[in-house]
């Protein structure tokens, strides 16, 4: 009987999992949409996300009003590379903050482009997931201990590098080549790198490997769609890699600019396998801020997707500029760009052993007769400074909300200040001169709000189903949580089954209040062994009702 029940559930879950968890908008110039090779890019996004398409003539600001009415969660701007000028990037940032009355960002956005339309189509086709397991650093600032495995090479000291292994151990070595050009190119061309991080002097079409002077090392350059290594001596070496990866110009000037078809972004997309490319379109300096925050929310204090981390980092810039936060004077509020699908689920892999996140986030939602009560809590995992600690350090804890909220009234916070918008919460809990917050310490904000309807829930005033399961991130990871909502309090049991209906793991039956809850599964069975890759089902039972959701595990 249980197998028959799951057989019925699979059809529902598969249909739900194919859609984006949020409203998705596509913006494109009307003249570009008229070209068949570019219109297929838009058609692919519409089919994948049930996206709404918005066209403009000469300025992207022409669609501000209709975007404000639509209130998208994601905005994908499809343009030719030649149109992605620094001024266009600044307009996109400012437009993304103009869709409601507050000063903060309203939509997670990215630019889909490439050397040609075929590149743009590749960015939006196929899988929507990337698990970053192996990181290659052209800089020691890539923080190798926060990833499953990594090679971090030193841009300032010849021969120096670190190797981070899956078991958590780190080797520090001094036997590397004086010129790293061929070594880095060969690592990328081996198609085993999920993320490549660079820092140092750069322009739109080159990266200088050594810092601060060029010394005895070469360059990475780009020309007419091709990215390549130019060693200190010897022939150029083309970079031709097809595995999807993130390119992160962590500390490079201008490396996000597209001035022509020889610029780095279009070339990395064309021959380097970059599905997400992040770089500055302005000069990077001592007070640059955006990329340190992106790294923090991706790997140091959160395991958000890359586009989500990029979005959250910018909210920290806005907060610190608005409040003149001590220690900051960022000048790159509108100076960085993300090329790629803003809904691309690229995040740190669960494999291996790596440094713990600075804190754990928790969101609790208790329904009320007119408004719901929402509690957002952070709990420190280690001693640390959850705030601005340098251009590449930690940022203020900032938590994406599971759905949009309105009519917000803050009831309590033990933070210095809490910013609660319709789509995120920022807690200002540490400032320059404060001691570390200690492991186990918490900070929270409690507020009331009205929520927009989510999948499986009815609108306000109608009866909600007894148990509503939200689709978890798939592939499922130990950092992912199964989120469910109870219409009324009761004892709830959570069980995991394999594809054949056999019980894999049963969690203790627990009394839960009405509202939103989360259950974490560490991907281990009842005997403590890691489960194999495959399809599993999570079943919740209680109050005379059952619900199930599919979990996809990759290894």
Domains of the chain, earliest start first = 22-112 (3.40.50), 129-282 (no CATH), 359-451 (2.60.40), 467-553 (2.60.40.4070)
Q: Are strands 219-223 and 195-200 parallel, antiparallel or unpaired?
A: unpaired
Q: At residue 487, does pLDDT exceed 80? A: no
- Among the listed residues 439, 437, 419, 438, the one whose alpha carbon sits nearest the alpha carbon of residue 427: 419
Count CB neighbours of 380 within 10 A: 21
pLDDT at res. 386: 94
The pTM assigned to this predicted structure is: 0.79
Better-predicted residue by pLDDT, 528 or 444: 444
H/E stretch holding 359: strand 359-366
pLDDT at res. 136: 96
The mean per-residue pLDDT over the stretch 523-542 comes to 86
Q: At residue 492, does pLDDT exceed 50? A: yes
Predicted confidence (pLDDT) per residue in 99-150, tens digit = 998 999 999 999 999 999 999 999 999 778 899 999 999 998 888 999 999 9
Contacts of 492 (CB under 8 A, 6+ apart): 467, 486, 509, 510, 511, 512, 517, 540, 541, 542, 543
Count CB neighbours of 327 within 10 A: 14
pLDDT at res. 466: 75
Distance CA 348, CA 287 (A): 27
pLDDT at res. 21: 56
pLDDT at res. 403: 85
| Contact criterion met (CB below 8 Å) for 61 and 55 | no
Distance CA 46, CA 551 (A): 25
Share of the chain above pLDDT 90, in %: 61
pLDDT at res. 462: 34
Distance CA 179, CA 194 (A): 23
- CA triplet 141, 144, 147: central angle to 5 degrees? 130
pLDDT at res. 522: 82
| Beta strand ranges found along 175-314 (DSSP E) | 195-200, 202-203, 206-208, 219-223, 226-230, 237-238, 245-252, 274-280
Better-predicted residue by pLDDT, 128 or 41: 41
Contacts of 103 (CB under 8 A, 6+ apart): 97, 318, 322
Predicted confidence (pLDDT) per residue in 181-229, tens digit = 999 999 999 999 999 999 999 999 999 999 999 999 999 999 999 999 9
Q: At residue 304, does pLDDT exceed 60? A: yes
The mean per-residue pLDDT over the stretch 253-276 comes to 95
pLDDT at res. 19: 35
């Amino acid at each position: 009987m249980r197998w028959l029940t799951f057989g019925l559930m699979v059809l529902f879950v598969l249909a739900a999992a194919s859609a984006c968890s949020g409203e998705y908008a596509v913006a494109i110039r009307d003249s570009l949409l008229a070209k068949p090779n570019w219109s297929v890019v838009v058609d692919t996004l519409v089919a994948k996300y049930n996206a709404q398409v918005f066209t403009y003539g000469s300025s992207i600001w022409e669609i501000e009003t209709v975007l404000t009415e639509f209130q998208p969660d994601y905005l994908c701007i499809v343009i030719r590379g030649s149109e992605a000028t620094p001024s266009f990037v600044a307009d996109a940032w400012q437009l993304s903050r103009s869709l409601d009355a507050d000063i903060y960002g309203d939509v997670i956005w990215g630019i889909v482009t490439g050397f040609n339309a075929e590149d743009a189509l590749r960015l939006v086709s196929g899988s929507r997931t990337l698990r970053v397991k192996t990181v290659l650093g052209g800089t020691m600032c890539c923080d190798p201990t926060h990833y499953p495995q990594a090679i971090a090479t030193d841009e300032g000291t010849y021969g120096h590098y670190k190797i981070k292994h899956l078991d958590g151990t780190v080797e520090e070595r001094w036997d590397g080549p004086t010129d790293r050009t061929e070594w880095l190119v060969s690592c990328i061309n081996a198609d085993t790198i999920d993320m490549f991080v660079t820092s140092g002097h750069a322009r739109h079409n080159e990266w200088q490997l050594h810092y601060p002077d060029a010394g005895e090392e070469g360059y990475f350059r780009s020309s007419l769609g091709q990215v390549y290594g130019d060693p200190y001596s010897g022939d150029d070496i083309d970079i031709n890699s097809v595995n999807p990866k993130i390119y992160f110009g962590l500390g490079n000037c201008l490396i996000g600019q597209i001035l022509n078809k020889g610029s780095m972004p279009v070339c990395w997309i064309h021959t380097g396998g970059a599905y997400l490319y992040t770089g500055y379109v302005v000069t990077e300096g001592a007070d640059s801020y955006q990329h340190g925050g992106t790294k923090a929310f991706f790997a140091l204090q959160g395991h958000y997707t890359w586009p989500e981390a990029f979005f959250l980092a910018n909210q920290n810039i806005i907060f610190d500029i608005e409040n003149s936060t001590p220690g900051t004077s960022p000048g790159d509020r509108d100076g960085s760009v993300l090329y790629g699908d803003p809904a691309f689920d690229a995040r740190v892999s669960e494999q291996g052993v790596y440094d713990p996140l600075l804190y754990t986030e928790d969101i609790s939602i208790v329904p009320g007769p007119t408004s719901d009560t929402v509690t957002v809590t952070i709990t420190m995992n280690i001693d640390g400074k959850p705030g601005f600690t340098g251009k590449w350090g930690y940022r203020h804890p900032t938590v994406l909300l599971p759905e949009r909220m309105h009519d917000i009234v803050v009831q309590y916070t033990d933070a210095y200040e809490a910013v609660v918008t319709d789509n995120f919460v920022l807690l200002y809990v540490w400032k320059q001169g404060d001691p570390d917050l200690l492991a186990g310490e918490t900070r929270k904000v409690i507020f009331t709000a009205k929520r927009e309807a989510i999948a499986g829930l009815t609108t306000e005033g109608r009866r909600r189903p007894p148990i509503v399961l939200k689709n978890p991130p798939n592939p499922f990871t130990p950092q992912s949580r199964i989120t469910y909502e109870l219409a009324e309090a009761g004892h709830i049991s959570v069980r995991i089954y394999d594809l054949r209906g056999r019980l894999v793991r049963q969690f203790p039956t627990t009394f839960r209040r009405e509202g939103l809850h989360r259950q974490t599964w560490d991907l281990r069975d009842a005997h403590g062994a890691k489960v194999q890759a495959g399809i599993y089902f999570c079943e919740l039972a209680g109050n005379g009702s059952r619900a199930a959701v599919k979990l996809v595990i990759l290894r």
